[in-house]
Structure 1
Amino acid sequence: MQENKETPERKRERLRQEELKGNPTGSLNDAFNRAQSGGLADLVGSLGWKGTGILILLLIIGVIIASIFLK
């Protein structure tokens, strides 16, 4: 078997990575659309590390605000 032949999984991943680099705001929209029908791993995977950090930050801020108002 040839080692230089690209498998379909690797080709899909390579194309997905190229799309993420070329259209970052589109990937954010895709992430939220996938979140409606997919899981958390799909959301985090398509957001990237910056989007995931922002999502975590928003969750933490939401918990802090909720705890202040519910005291």
Structure 2
Amino acid sequence: MGVMEAVAARVAAGTTYLHLISAVDHARQRVRISNNRGRVNGWTTHARVYGICTAVAGHPRPRIEGKTRS
């Protein structure tokens, strides 16, 4: 799996959870979200993803350019 970004996403119940992005469907503007135990939770739209992990313990995450908005 090449994607694996940690993001904050709002799920069906309106609750916000931290998920891993395990696949991206650019044509349908959605991402497949998974948990940290390898279970796929399903697909969600780009609009429901509103945060992305850009650093861990002060160290910038690699390949983050172009994935954030100013």
Which TM bucket (shorter chain)? Answer: under 0.3
Length-normalised TM-score, structure 1: 0.25
- The structure carrying a bigger helix percent of its residues is 1
Length-normalised TM-score, structure 2: 0.25
Greater RCO, CA 8 A, separation 6+: 2
